C-alpha cells in the first residue's frame, strides 16, 4: 500500500544531481497525493530553468514506480527567494568556518590538494590535470578541479563543457564532467574575453572559488596553476600550505630548465613535490619504435635538481586517440598511464613515489 511515509522514504534515495543531497532533505517534494496506485506531487527546484530537471524527474518517477506506483504526475515549481537564501546560507555553513575559512583547508578536512604547475606554457599542464583528475574519479574518488589559471583558463574548452555552473545567490555549484567537479574563470568570462586583473583581484577570485563554491565532499582537489612563479602561485602557497605539487615539463632541456624555477618555489614554500611528469616524451609508431621528438633527459635532469622522481612519461597521442576532448579513454595507452599514476597517488600515504 502506498503511503506518504513510504513515498518520502523512497525519495530520500533520490539526490539532487548538483547538490548531491536528497530531494526530501532539501524540501523539494511537496503536496503528495495518492489515488490508488497513481501518485502526484510537486517538485520545487532550486532555480527556474534547472538544467538537470529531466534527470530529477526521471529519478523520482523510477523510484516511485519501483515502490509500486503505476503512474506518476509531477508538477514543477521553484524555490522562493527566501527559501533560496536559506539554502545558500545552509550550504555556506557547511563549507566555511565561523572565521570565514573554507573548511576544506583545515588540516583534518580529509581533502588532498594537488597543484599542477610548470615553468612555461604549452607543455601540457592542463592536459595532465584533467586526465589525472578523471583517472582518480574512475577509481571511485570524489575529485574537483580548480582552474586557477585565471589568465589562461582552458579546462572548460578542453573538456568540451558547454554548460555553466548553477548559481544560488552567491554560491556556485560546480559543473560535473567525466565524474569531476569543475570550477573555472572560463565559465564567467564572456566570449573568451581576456581577464585583465592585478594581484589583489586574483587573490580574491581564487579565495571566492574556494569559499563560494559548493564542492561537497571531496577526496582530491587539483589546482591547475598558471605557469611560472607569479601572484597566483604565491597566493595558493599561502592559502594551502599542505598542498603537494606536480611539475610538468617536456624532455627539452630548455623547458626543464625553466620548470626548475617552479619546483624551487615549491620547495621554498614548503610544498611537497610529488614528482615530475614528462609530457610529449616520445612518439611510438605502429612498429613500437619510439621517436624522441623533443630530445631526452630533460625530466630526469629536473627531477635530480629537485631531489624528486619522474613519476610518469606521457607520449604523444596517436591520431585515433584524439577525439576532440582532452580526456583520454581509460583503455588507451595514455589513459592507462594516468590510471597507474592515480593508483600510486591513492596508495601513496606516507611512502615515497618510485619512478614509473
H helices of the chain, where?
4-11, 53-67, 81-95, 125-138, 155-158, 199-211, 231-239, 253-268, 298-306, 333-346
Residue 350 has pLDDT above 70, yes or no: no
The answer to whether residues 118 and 50 belong to one domain is no
Question: Per the domain annotation, does 39 fall within a domain?
Answer: yes
* Residues 103-125: tens digit of each pLDDT: 888 888 889 999 998 887 788 89
Q: Residues 6 or more apart from 294 whose CB is under 8 A from it?
A: 250, 251, 252, 255, 280, 281
Q: What is the CATH number of the domain that holds 61?
A: 3.30.300.130
Quick check: is 97 in a domain? no
Q: Are residues 162 and 65 in the same domain?
A: no
298 pLDDT higher than 90? no
Q: Are residues 122 and 213 in the same domain?
A: yes
Question: Based on the domain organization, do 8 and 143 belong to the same domain?
Answer: no
Residue-wise pLDDT for 241-279, tens only, equals 888 999 999 898 777 767 777 777 777 777 888 999 999
Q: Where are the alpha helices (DSSP H) in 139-229?
A: 155-158, 199-211
How many structural domains compose the chain? 2
* Domain-embedded: residue 324: yes
Residue 290's CATH number: 3.40.50.300
Cα–Cα nearest to 166, from 17, 327, 15: 17
**CA distance linking residue 3 with residue 10, whole number of Å:** 11
Does any domain span residue 45? yes
- What is the rounded average pLDDT of the residues 301-324? 82
309 shares its domain with 219: yes
- pLDDT score of 351: 39
Residue 198 has pLDDT above 80, yes or no: no
Whether 21 maps to a domain, the answer reads: yes
Same domain, yes or no, for 163 and 216?
A: yes
Q: What is the DSSP string of 243-254?
A: -EEEEEE-SSHH
Do 131 and 327 contact (CB within 8 A), yes or no? yes
Q: What average pLDDT is seen over the chain?
A: 85
Quote the domain boundaries for residue 26: 4-79
- Cα 178 to the center of its chain, rounded Å: 9
- Note whether 123 and 156 are within 8 A (CB): no
Shared domain check, 115 and 25: no
Q: What is the mean pLDDT of residues 302-314?
A: 90
pLDDT in tens, 271-295: 888 999 999 998 988 888 888 888 8
User: Is residue 115 domain-shared with residue 223, that is, in the same domain?
Assistant: yes
Q: By C-alpha distance, which of 35, 42, 79 is closest to 57?
A: 42
Same domain, 143 and 26: no
Q: Tell me: do 54 and 138 sit in the same domain.
A: no
Can you tell me whether residue 26 is helix, strand or coil? coil
Task: Give the model's pLDDT for residue 322.
Answer: 57
My answer on whether 47 and 108 are in the same domain is: no
Tens-place pLDDT, residues 129-154: 999 999 999 999 999 999 988 777 88
Asked if residue 351 belongs to a domain, the reply is no
- DSSP states of 323-349 as a string? -SSSPPPTTSHHHHHHHHHHHHHHTTT
Whether residue 89 lies inside any domain: the answer is no
* pLDDT value of position 196: 46
CB 115 within 8 A of CB 225: yes
> Which residues on adjacent β-strands are paired with residue 290?
284
Specify whether 318 is located in the same domain as 199: yes
Amino acid at each position: 500500500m502506498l503511503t506518504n511515509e513510504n513515498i518520502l522514504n523512497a525519495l530520500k534515495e533520490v539526490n539532487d544531481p548538483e547538490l548531491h543531497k536528497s530531494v526530501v532533505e532539501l524540501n523539494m517534494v511537496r503536496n503528495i497525493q495518492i489515488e490508488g496506485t497513481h501518485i502526484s506531487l510537486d517538485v520545487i527546484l532550486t532555480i527556474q530553468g534547472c538544467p538537470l530537471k529531466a534527470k530529477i524527474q526521471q529519478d523520482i518517477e523510477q523510484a516511485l514506480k519501483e515502490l509500486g506506483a503505476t503512474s506518476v504526475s509531477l508538477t514543477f515549481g521553484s524555490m522562493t527567494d527566501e527559501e533560496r537564501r536559506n539554502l545558500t546560507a545552509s550550504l555556506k555553513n557547511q563549507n566555511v568556518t565561523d572565521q570565514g575559512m573554507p573548511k576544506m583547508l583545515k588540516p583534518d578536512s580529509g581533502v588532498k590538494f594537488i597543484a599542477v604547475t610548470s615553468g612555461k606554457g604549452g607543455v601540457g599542464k592542463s592536459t595532465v590535470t584533467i586526465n589525472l583528475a578523471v583517472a582518480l574519479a574512475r577509481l571511485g574518488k570524489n575529485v574537483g578541479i580548480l582552474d586557477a589559471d585565471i589568465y589562461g583558463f582552458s579546462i572548460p574548452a578542453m573538456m568540451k563543457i558547454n554548460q555553466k555552473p548553477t548559481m544560488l545567490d552567491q554560491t556556485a555549484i560546480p559543473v560535473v564532467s567525466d565524474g569531476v567537479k569543475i570550477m573555472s574563470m572560463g565559465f564567467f568570462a564572456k566570449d573568451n574575453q581576456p581577464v585583465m586583473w592585478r594581484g589583489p583581484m586574483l587573490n580574491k577570485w581564487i579565495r571566492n572559488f574556494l569559499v563560494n563554491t559548493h564542492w561537497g565532499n571531496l577526496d582530491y582537489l587539483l589546482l591547475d596553476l598558471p605557469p611560472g612563479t607569479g601572484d597566483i602561485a604565491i597566493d595558493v602557497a599561502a592559502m594551502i600550505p599542505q598542498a603537494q605539487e606536480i611539475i610538468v615539463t617536456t624532455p627539452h632541456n630548455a623547458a626543464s630548465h625553466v620548470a626548475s624555477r617552479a619546483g624551487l618555489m615549491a620547495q621554498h614554500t614548503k610544498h611537497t613535490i610529488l614528482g615530475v611528469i614528462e609530457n610529449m616524451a616520445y612518439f611510438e609508431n605502429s612498429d613500437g619504435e619510439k621517436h624522441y621528438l623533443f630530445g631526452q633527459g630533460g625530466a630526469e635532469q629536473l627531477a635530480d635538481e629537485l631531489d624528486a622522481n619522474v613519476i610518469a612519461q606521457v607520449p604523444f597521442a596517436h591520431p585515433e586517440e584524439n577525439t576532440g576532448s582532452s580526456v583520454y579513454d581509460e583503455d588507451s595507452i595514455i589513459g592507462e598511464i594516468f590510471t597507474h599514476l592515480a593508483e600510486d597517488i591513492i596508495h601513496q600515504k606516507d611512502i615515497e613515489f618510485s619512478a614509473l
